[in-house]
Amino acid sequence: MIQCQALWYTERGRIELRRTALPPPEEGHVVIKAHYSGVSRGTERLIHQGLIPRSEYQRMRCPYQEGEFPNSVKYGYALTGEIMDGPRKSIGKKVFVLHPHQSFAKVDAAHVHQIPDGLPLRRAALAANMETAVNVIWDTAPSPGERILIIGGGVLGLLIAGLITISGRNEVTITDKNPARASIAQLLGAKFTLPKIAPNEQQVIIHTSATEIGLRQALNHAASDGRIVEASWFGNREITLPLGESFHSKRLRLISSQVGAIPPSHRDQWTFAKRMQKALAHLEDERFDALITGEINFDDAPTTLPNALTNDSSGLMTVLHYL
């Protein structure tokens, strides 16, 4: 038996580490020694604050989750590490797996994704976010020359910008209320602006801020026949939108993007595993290191992680480091 610790979101606003024992892997399974795991700030903030809607309790479950919403849950889905037990040919491989924050993990070997040589395990913790970014771009389907505005300069918005600008076919602007995001946006090849001076007449708007004001801004800045891709999630919050104003006269389209399904345009040729390998390959770009702005020792998570999940936290991706 391997003794390890797992992070649990307990009653609203509390985090604790619980000890657990892993039996040796049976055939077809491997044991991973964790190095890093990424904290999905938006989703895990909602869990930490008890804001998961009842209707989403089952859809929100992550692989290898224990516990039930809205009570205590072991959660997380961005763990990187090294295989330490399993088939001989797999020992020592660096892998990514959708698994809660835990110092050791026993998983089905079919669920692990090998990390490309040269991709640091720390940066690979962005893989789940990058997978979402890939899906958003598939849902957006930008045409060459279209002007693109991304509302929200968080991890997802910056990853999307970085992927789009690689082609050099579109002008991409990120708008965010935090001016500190400007340097990272520029590093990734995008323009940056504060919300008050964001450009109008944008043919594509990707909304990632998870705020009502951000989605209203998307409606106001869209060009006629423009499309707005909603890539954020509001949990159990209800929002109101002025759909009685220019929404109809401008023939705007509001499109939902959600990583749990591959867009119809790609379903025939892509699997979830293939999409994840694509996401990991994109992360070989060392510029994405700039999106990891916080690191917490796993043992300190109960006292330190809540600060990174506050609504006014100015950081981007926080990773847990397993020493």
Positions of CATH 3.90.180.10 in the chain: 2-126+283-321
**End-to-end CA, the chain:** 20
- Give the C-alpha separation, 233 to 60, whole Å: 12
**Taking the mean position of all CA atoms in its chain, how far away is CA 151?**
16
Q: Please give the structure tokens belonging to residue 17.
A: 């580490």
What pLDDT, on the 0 to 100 scale, is given for residue 276? 97
What pLDDT, on the 0 to 100 scale, is given for residue 315? 85
Our CA dihedral for 121, 124, 126, 128, rounded to 10 degrees, sits at -120
pLDDT tens-digit profile of 159-203?
Answer: 999 999 998 999 999 999 999 999 999 999 999 999 999 999 999
What pLDDT, on the 0 to 100 scale, is given for residue 234? 80
pLDDT tens-digit profile of 223-262?
Answer: 999 999 999 888 777 888 888 888 989 999 999 999 999 9
Backbone Cα Rg of the chain: 20
pLDDT digit string (tens) for the chain, length 323 residues? 889 999 999 977 899 999 999 988 889 999 999 999 999 888 899 899 888 888 889 988 999 999 999 889 999 999 999 999 999 899 999 999 999 999 999 999 999 999 999 999 999 999 999 999 999 999 999 999 999 999 999 999 999 999 999 989 999 999 999 999 999 999 999 999 999 999 999 999 999 998 999 999 999 999 999 999 999 888 777 888 888 888 989 999 999 999 999 999 999 999 999 999 999 999 999 999 999 999 999 999 999 999 999 877 778 999 999 98
Positions of CATH 3.40.50.720 in the chain: 130-256
Q: What pTM, to 2 d.p., does this model score? A: 0.92
Please name every residue paired with 269 in a beta bridge, in sequence order, or none if there are none: none
3-state secondary structure the chain: CEEEEEEEECCCCCEEEEEEEECCCCCCEEEEEEEEEEECHHHHHHHHCCCCCHHHCCCCCCCCCEECCCCCEECCCCEEEEEEECCHHHCCCEEEECCCCECEEEEEHHHCEECCCCCCHHHHCCHHHHHHHHHHHHHHCCCCCCEEEEECCCHHHHHHHHHHHHHCCCEEEEECCCHHHHHHHHHCCCEEECHHHCCCCEEEEEECCCCHHHHHHHHHHEEEEEEEEECCCCCCCCCCCCCCCHHHHCCCEEEECCCCCCCCCCCCCCCHHHHHHHHHHHCCCHHHHHHEEEEEEHHHHHHHHHHHCCCCCCCCEEEEECC
What pLDDT, on the 0 to 100 scale, is given for residue 235? 72
What pLDDT, on the 0 to 100 scale, is given for residue 98? 97
Q: Percent of the chain scored above 90 by pLDDT? A: 81
What pLDDT, on the 0 to 100 scale, is given for residue 13? 80
Place of tokens 């749990």: 260
What pLDDT, on the 0 to 100 scale, is given for residue 175? 98
The pairing of strands 79-85 and 94-97 is antiparallel
What pLDDT, on the 0 to 100 scale, is given for residue 119? 98
Q: Please give the structure tokens belonging to residue 36.
A: 């890093």
Q: Please give the structure tokens belonging to residue 87.
A: 């088939």
Q: Which of 32, 193, 6 is nearest to 112 (CA)?
A: 32
Q: Please give the structure tokens belonging to residue 75.
A: 């959660």
Give the CATH number of domain 130-256: 3.40.50.720
CATH superfamily to which 2-126+283-321 belongs: Medium-chain alcohol dehydrogenases, catalytic domain (3.90.180.10)
What pLDDT, on the 0 to 100 scale, is given for residue 55? 87
